Amino acid sequence: MQILKQYQDKKVLVLGFGISGLNAAELLAKSGAQVVANDQATPKDPTIVDHLKSLGIEVITGSNPLDLADRSFDLVVKNPGIPYDNPLVAEFVQKNTPIITEAELGAELFQGHLVSVTGSNGKTTTTTLTQLMLAHDSKHQVKYAGNIGVSFSKVAATLSEEDTLVTELSSFQLLGTPTLHPHIAIITNIFSNHIDYHKTRENYINAKLNITRNQTKDDYLIMNWDRDEWQRIAQRSQATIIPFSRQNKSHDGSYEEDGKIYWRGEYIMDADDIRLIGPQNVENALAAIAAAKLSGVQNSAIVDVLKSFGGVRHRLQYVLEYKDRLFYNDSKSTDIEATEVALQGFKRPVILLAGGLDRGYTFERLVPYFKKHVKAIIVFGQCKDKMKAAAEQANIPTIIESENAITAVPEAWKVSAPGDVILLSPANASWDQFPSFEVRGDRFIEAVEKLTGRKEQK
């Protein structure tokens, strides 16, 4: 395991006991830092605290004591989800104490071929596709890490200069990565996510652009070229821009034209041969293809991956078929844009399960997609009345209110017919009823399995 010698004898506060925080605390302790680990909650598993203490780490749980700000820390490693207006974090901001996220430790550790992916939607699928393509025929290790559920620093500590690491990075993580320097960066798209955290859309865009902040003309920024705004955003990078376009707006990178996928004029495959459903997954494939071609991957490896990969869990994931009904789990669709693109992926009639946390917006934008694709809708959660209003505006003939994504499954089955798709694509966050979109998706799958008596298809 590699360590970070520059932190020896440094006083470091690690805020948050998530996966990234625990890995950061362990790495820093093994690197010789004087580590204090603090979490506002008390872990249900006491072995977590015991393990940290066994490494010589001071552990404080149950609150974020403001007097921690008086202890002259050299560095704060913050859980990405903790906002900067958190009272304790704000104290460190005022004191100009450096604040990073665990991803920065990974960036400092890793000296190999780094590919980093961000964007509002499609990050995990693009990261996974890219890793699979680069690993297909590689003689060296090719791993993924980051916001995909595996600590960046933990994986980076196991790799050499000859290896490749593909990292998924959220806007929260990118705010604390001052030295991050991927050779290849990918921005899948930029919508208006997490404004409650970033306060403004411009702040959100700036956070995303941290992925390319340290790039030079010798590096590459792969950018979605299908909106004029995204083209303008790309010009703020010093890297060599590689566009990808599903709408055939550029031939300088990867693109789709007349149902075929190309790389700079070179035919790769037919878009219909991509196993993943929907136009958004064509975009994800195009981004991954660009990264793969820039990394020297053969077309045969690219095609093999795109023909065989069935999807990331909770991201337009095919669950199973029962009595000619197809069940799909798209619990990761926590915003309107994601549900728009999910609906466009189906030619069959859709029974949509939608709703969740009320963030204050309405759903008129979904009306044309409802009209074209949705035969029935089951609404639930805090925003069910707003979702119902949009469904009524679209003249959907069958609108049913249900308690949640679990109770909605039998309701959807009752109004379904052979040939239908039963789709969970909520267009909202899960936090009104579930701790995460992953839990919501898992419970949906369990409800489908209970209804059909079958197991999800892996």
Distance CA 250, CA 264 (A): 9
Distance CA 148, CA 152 (A): 9
Cα–chain center distance at 50: 31
CB 423 within 8 A of CB 353: yes
125 labeled part of a ligand binding site: yes
120 labeled part of a ligand binding site: yes
124 labeled part of a ligand binding site: yes
Closest of 277, 311, 305, 307 to residue 142, by C-alpha: 305
Distance CA 410, CA 416 (A): 10
Closest of 175, 156, 127 to residue 2, by C-alpha: 156
Token pair 């390319």 in the structure block, residue: 212
Distance CA 16, CA 393 (A): 44
* Strand partners of residue 329: 317, 424
Specify the pairing of strand 421-424 against strand 164-168: unpaired
Q: Which residues are known binding-site members?
A: 119-125
Q: Which residues are known binding-site members for ATP?
A: 119-125
